[in-house]
Structure 1
Amino acid sequence: MIGSPGSAGCALVPWPRMWQWVLAASLVAVITLTLPGRGQACPPRCECSAQLRSVSCQRRRLINIPEGIPTETQLLDLSKNRLRWVQAGDLAPYPRLEEVDLSENLIATLEPNAFATLQSLKVLKLRGNQLKLVPMGAFAKLGNLTSLDLSENKMVILLDYTFQDLRSLKHLEVGDNDLVYISHKAFSGLLGLEDLTIERCNLTSISGQTLSYLRSLVTLRLRHLSIIALEDQNFRKLSNLRGLDIDHWPYLEYISPVSFQGLDLHWLSITNTNITSVPSASFKNLVHLTHLNLSYNPISTLEPWAFKDLLRLKELIMVIAREGQPVSFLCRAEGEPAPAIVWISPQRRRITAKSSGRITVLPSGTLEIRYAQLTDSGTYICIASNAGGNDTYFATLTVRGQPLDAASAFFLNRSLYSGEFFNDTNLNSTRVYLKFTLDLTTILVSTAMGCITFLGVVLFCFLLLFVWSRGRGQRKNNFTVEYSFRKSEPVTGSSSGGTRKFNMKMI
């Protein structure tokens, strides 16, 4: 029976409508059961952390991105699996991802817009895959990406505009590839890149035009390359570059005098190359350089005053690795008469006698090191003083010995006062001149010591005056002098005897 609207009983709904409501309720229940709860769902064989919002599926032999990843995931680790490609929609269900690790898979293809839906992505790791080419648009819409690792792939060329959408990228690694060519506009769009590493490639040259787009670059590492020469102005537009590392270029024999023109480097490392002389002409404009490393190079001759333009140089590192070759460091100072030269060992002992040990001193003021062991490690100080002893110059040589190895590292540091340091290698007539200049710390310390001495003298004088003034009032200012006439002198009648007295006052 269907009750009337005005009846007191329960109103009955018509059958068609009732079935609609039941269907809607069932649909809602199905959706609720299908959607994973926050922080509770986790793909099979993966490890999830609701607190960190991370999912780790490392070493699971996956060939596809697993299902069931929570949509709020921010860190996704799919490294060391068997993924072969990344298509445009594979990561679309996870728009909150901030870090994706796809390292050590078998990925050979990146489709355009493969990560376009990941607007919050900051770190992307593609190291150790099979990528031979990165197409233009593969990193489209990744405006917040700050770190990208493409190392250990099989890329042969970097195309124009490969990274054009990565305006926030700060760290890029493209080393351990088969690169033979980097297109002139490959780095176009990298407005914020600060750190770039290119290593273990087949590059035979680096174009200044290619690097010219990296206006914000601070550190550049170029290692294990087959480049034979640094041409004119390779880095001419990198005005913000502060550190340059050139390491393991076995064919590098020539560095142009204007290779570093326009740079404001603070540290420079040129190691394990084939240069035979210090490129002193290239250092001419590096007035802010403080650290220079020229280790493991077959340097046989150095031009005089090779480092005279490096006014702020604090540390020069030259590691000698040739067995049995003595290295001599001559500390020289000029003047008339000739200044005295003394070497001080790390144990604060004077080295004056000639001996046949590992470290000897020659009459010319030369410290000769045949080989250094751990017991010889430390800082040796050369002190040059003039005949009057009122002017002194210091230079330090830090020796680090290595056990069971002929290699020894020598660090030449500026110290305390200005002076000159001369280095001579006996076997190949290698000579290095270093000019040491006063720094702000030395000036401040010297001024403080002078002020303290002056104030001490003044205080001592005031103390003497105070003592003298205190004792002055205790003495008598008047005294009586009594004397007698000689017998030969006549005595007047008005005299009252042979003795006379008078009073004197001391002022």
Structure 2
Amino acid sequence: MTGWLRVLGLPLLLLPAAPPPAHGCPARCECTAVTRAVACPRRRLTAVPDGIPAETRLLELSRNRIRCLNPGDLAALPQLEELDLSDNVIAHVEPGAFDNLPRLRELRLRRNQLKLIPPGVFTRLANLTLLDLSENKLVILLDYTFQDLRSLRRLEVGDNDLVFISRRAFAGLLALEELTLERCNLTALSGESLGHLRGLGALRLRHLAIAALEDQNFRKLPGLLHLEIDNWPLLEEVAAGSLQGLNLTSLSVTHTNITAVPAAALSHQAHLTCLNLSFNPISTVPRGSFRDLVRLRELHLAGALLAVVEPQAFLGLRQIRLLNLSNNQLSTLEECTFHSVNTLETLRVDGNPLACDCRLLWIVQRRKTLNFDGRLPACATPAEVRGDALRDLPDSALFEYFVNAGGNDSYFATLSVRAEPAANRTPGEGHNETQAAARFPLDLTTILVSTAMGCITFLGVVLFCFLLLFVWSRGRGQHKNNFSVEYSFRKVDGPAAAAGQGGARKFNMKMI
């Protein structure tokens, strides 16, 4: 028996030893081995927990009670790529806290209690691409705060108590593409501080108490394509040189107090494709206000208190597709206003006290389609338009328009204009013939209603015919079609006649 046990135990001795168990997961966290993620949200943690696996790539510590980050707290996580510390009470981040995170790409410190970021905090984060410092209590951005973040592409520092940005605060941010500054106490923009952002593509400046744009604010930003200025209640004018040096494709100046279209400032933006000047107290659009914006495709002037749009106000807009004039105070729009915008496809005029002017229905020529996207007063059909309303139309054209009549019914109609042959024209006489046809779109409801009405009519006729046949058949058996006739010969005076006749005789006849 002992020999057999030795033989059976020999293979067991030859088996390799089992590997040691991998590192466990912290008690209050959830670990995912596939994605190498550790999630510890809302666990009332006051510090970074111990026992996090060294191979972790994503660590979420949001909505806890962490107060401070010290050197060594994250030193055991060299593979970390994403770190979320949002919604804590972090008031201090010591220099060196992120020194051992060379692969970190995203760092979120949103909604904490940070008042100051000392130099050296972001040292050795050469691969960081996203940094979110919004909704803290930062008062100042010191020089060289971000100098080691050479790969940073997106920086969020909005919703802070910023009153000052040092001239070299953004030094070193060579790859930054997006910057958002909003809801802070800045009263001026430093052109020198923004000048370090050579690669900046999008700049969003929202809810700021800045009263003016200086000529040097954006001069050193040649790569800036999108500029958004929103909710600057103290801004009353966009200076002529404030946008000089920029090659913007999108510009938004909304919810400010500018009272006129900044035509002088826009004259340098020949590459602009989208312009938004909505919700500003602009009352008039003068002639040629956008003449230099030859590439503009979208123009928004919604809620701008517009009362007058002068003829040829949109002169020069060769590629315009969308024009938004909704929620203004426009009572009339002349057709000559749109003579130069042959490429216009969508016109929004809802929310205006517009009076009916049927000539607006033909402002787009050369077989273009115009969509009145919004409310337009109900107008007469083209067949009811006479006189000189057609004098400016070309000799041969087809126009299509869509009108929403008072928000109730929608009509689609076509207008065909043909010139009379020269052989039939009287010298000195020329006129156009118009043909209008209202085309109502067929939908399922219309088809069902039409079919039901047709069936009811047909069944009613059939029922009526059967009723007539029934009445006729019932009455046929009650009428007699025969009659009888009794005929008596007239008496002849005299005895001969009486003897020859043998007396009076009667004949009875019956006709069937």
TM-score (norm 1): 0.62
Amino acid at match of 1:332: C
- Aligned-residue offset at 1:327: 4.6
Partner of 2:336: 332
Q: Matches of residues 168-247 of structure 1 in structure 2 within 5 Å? A: 168-247=151-230
3-state SS, counterpart of residue 255 of structure 2:
strand
Q: Distance in 2 between matches of 1:397 and 1:295?
A: 25
Q: Distance in 2 between matches of 1:198 and 1:93?
A: 34
Q: Matches of residues 304-323 of structure 1 in structure 2 within 5 Å? A: 304-320=287-303
Q: Which runs of 5+ in 2 are unaligned?
A: 1-16, 306-326, 363-371, 383-388, 409-512
Amino acid at match of 2:77: Y
Q: Matches of residues 385-424 of structure 1 in structure 2 within 5 Å? A: 387=392, 389-390=394-395
Bigger radius of gyration, 1 or 2? 2
**Correspondence for 1:361 among 356, 361, 364:** 356
The 1:325/1:395 distance shift into structure 2, 3 A limit, reads: farther
Q: Distance in 1 between matches of 2:209 and 2:142?
A: 20
3-state SS, counterpart of residue 333 of structure 2:
strand
Amino acid at match of 2:335: C
Q: Distance in 1 between matches of 2:50 and 2:166?
A: 39
Answer yes or no: is the 8 Å Cα contact 1:157–1:182 preserved in 2.
yes
Partner of 2:375: 376
Partner of 1:263: 246
Partner of 1:496: none
3-state SS, counterpart of residue 302 of structure 2:
strand
The 1:134/1:333 distance shift into structure 2, 3 A limit, reads: closer
The 1:314/1:147 distance shift into structure 2, 3 A limit, reads: same
Partner of 1:155: 138
Q: Distance in 1 between matches of 2:100 and 2:70?
A: 12
Amino acid at match of 1:205: A
Q: Distance in 2 between matches of 1:170 and 1:102?
A: 19
Structure with the larger RCO, 1 or 2 (CA within 8 Å, 6+ apart)? 1
Q: Distance in 2 between matches of 1:228 and 1:96?
A: 47
- Aligned-residue offset at 1:308: 0.5
- Aligned-residue offset at 1:290: 0.7
Q: Distance in 2 between matches of 1:252 and 1:231?
A: 12
Q: 1:337-395 CA distances to partner (integer Å, 9 max, x unpaired)?
A: xx9x9x9999xxxxxxxxxx96433488699xxxxx997389x9xx9986572598999
The 1:392/1:85 distance shift into structure 2, 3 A limit, reads: farther
Q: Distance in 1 between matches of 2:255 and 2:243?
A: 19
The 1:327/1:142 distance shift into structure 2, 3 A limit, reads: farther
3-state SS, counterpart of residue 270 of structure 2:
coil
- Aligned-residue offset at 1:304: 2.9
Q: 1:158-211 CA distances to partner (integer Å, 9 max, x unpaired)?
A: 000000000000010000000011111000000000011111111111111111
The 1:120/1:284 distance shift into structure 2, 3 A limit, reads: same
Q: Distance in 2 between matches of 1:398 and 1:278?
A: 29
Answer yes or no: is the 8 Å Cα contact 2:258–2:280 preserved in 1.
yes
Amino acid at match of 1:376: R
The 1:365/1:173 distance shift into structure 2, 3 A limit, reads: same
- Aligned-residue offset at 1:284: 1.0
3-state SS, counterpart of residue 269 of structure 1:
strand
Partner of 2:259: 276
Q: Distance in 1 between matches of 2:346 and 2:164?
A: 52
Partner of 2:283: 300
The 1:333/1:229 distance shift into structure 2, 3 A limit, reads: closer
Q: Distance in 2 between matches of 1:53 and 1:74?
A: 6
Q: Matches of residues 460-479 of structure 1 in structure 2 within 5 Å? A: none
Partner of 1:78: 61
3-state SS, counterpart of residue 234 of structure 2:
coil
Answer yes or no: is the 8 Å Cα contact 1:54–1:76 preserved in 2.
yes
Q: Distance in 2 between matches of 1:92 and 1:198?
A: 32
The 1:98/1:385 distance shift into structure 2, 3 A limit, reads: farther
Q: Distance in 2 between matches of 1:170 and 1:266?
A: 20
Answer yes or no: is the 8 Å Cα contact 2:346–2:373 preserved in 1.
no
Answer yes or no: is the 8 Å Cα contact 1:329–1:366 preserved in 2.
no
The 1:292/1:107 distance shift into structure 2, 3 A limit, reads: same
- Aligned-residue offset at 1:329: 2.9
Corresponding pairs, count: 346
Partner of 1:88: 71
Amino acid at match of 1:389: P
Q: Distance in 2 between matches of 1:287 and 1:151?
A: 34
Answer yes or no: is the 8 Å Cα contact 1:246–1:271 preserved in 2.
yes
CA RMSD of aligned residues (A): 3.8
Answer yes or no: is the 8 Å Cα contact 1:385–1:391 preserved in 2.
no
3-state SS, counterpart of residue 355 of structure 2:
strand
3-state SS, counterpart of residue 361 of structure 1:
coil
The 1:168/1:137 distance shift into structure 2, 3 A limit, reads: same
**Correspondence for 1:165 among 148, 168, 175:** 148
Higher deviation after alignment, 140-149 or 315-324: 315-324
Q: Distance in 2 between matches of 1:402 and 1:209?
A: 52
Answer yes or no: is the 8 Å Cα contact 1:187–1:210 preserved in 2.
yes
3-state SS, counterpart of residue 264 of structure 2:
helix
Q: 1:459-489 CA distances to partner (integer Å, 9 max, x unpaired)?
A: xxxxxxxxxxxxxxxxxxxxxxxxxxxxxxx
Q: 1:118-175 CA distances to partner (integer Å, 9 max, x unpaired)?
A: 0000000000000000111110010000000000000010000000000000010000
Q: Distance in 2 between matches of 1:395 and 1:168?
A: 52
Q: Which runs of 5+ in 1 are unaligned?
A: 1-28, 347-356, 368-372, 404-507
Q: Distance in 2 between matches of 1:172 and 1:398?
A: 46
Higher deviation after alignment, 224-233 or 315-324: 315-324
Q: Distance in 2 between matches of 1:125 and 1:174?
A: 11
Q: 1:201-260 CA distances to partner (integer Å, 9 max, x unpaired)?
A: 111111111111111111111111110111113111111111111111111112111111
- Aligned-residue offset at 1:41: 1.3
Amino acid at match of 2:262: P
Answer yes or no: is the 8 Å Cα contact 2:147–2:171 preserved in 1.
yes
**Correspondence for 2:231 among 245, 248, 255:** 248
Q: Choose between structure 1 and 2: higher strand proportion.
A: 1
Q: Distance in 1 between matches of 2:264 and 2:402?
A: 25
Answer yes or no: is the 8 Å Cα contact 2:304–2:328 preserved in 1.
no
- Aligned-residue offset at 1:83: 0.4
Answer yes or no: is 1:116 the counterpart of 2:99: yes
